[in-house]
Structure 1
């Protein structure tokens, strides 16, 4: 069971991080209109290296979201941010929705 689509009221744009090159970070083509639920609150999270950092936006989206850490995200208000950490929430056999949670700068 996936998170119900009608709960994902916002639309965001994601440029998936594809790695670094000699010219800096490389991103995939932008994916526009991604359904999401965005909460712009300040929280402390851990980045992929385990350091505590501040997240100013949390995003809930479908479980198949392609948004690795370091991806560029454009929020509904036009602010561009970067994905800090990604969590895939699953509960096989339980009647709770599966989703992807992204913490962004």
Structure 2
């Protein structure tokens, strides 16, 4: 399998992976940057709980992106958002690229 072509990954985001809930609220891991392609489009989606909600930014990155649902994401324009859904796209045996798709608030 191949990853998304590096030439497509024109943006950089900062992700603080969601690690769970603590005594004082959500707990996040150390921030890390990731090369990706960001599309700031309003889309109606179902979040991880099945609730219909709105995504205002979609991130397309290579396989293995560490961004669990609930992670904090800083977009290229500086806006901080939260990961609503995360999907790993693979196609074993087919000559298509693997990717990770993140829909954000």
TM-score, normalised relative to structure 2: 0.97
SS at match of 1:98: strand
Large movers: runs of 4+ above 4 Å: none
1:92 lines up with 2:92 in the alignment: yes
**Consecutive unaligned residues in structure 1, runs of 5 or more:** none
For residues 5-61 of structure 1, the C-alpha deviation after alignment (integer angstroms, 9 at most, x for no partner) is 1110000000000000111000000002x1000000000111111111100000000
Identify the residue that residue 3 of structure 1 maps to in structure 2. Answer: 4
Identify the residue that residue 60 of structure 1 maps to in structure 2. Answer: 60
Paired residues, number: 104
SS at match of 1:76: coil
CA distance in 1, matches of 2:26, 2:82: 12
- Deviation (angstroms), 1:83: 0.2
CA distance in 2, matches of 1:45, 1:24: 25
The alignment's C-alpha RMSD in Å is: 0.6
- Deviation (angstroms), 1:2: 1.0
TM-score, normalised relative to structure 1: 0.97
**Consecutive unaligned residues in structure 2, runs of 5 or more:** none
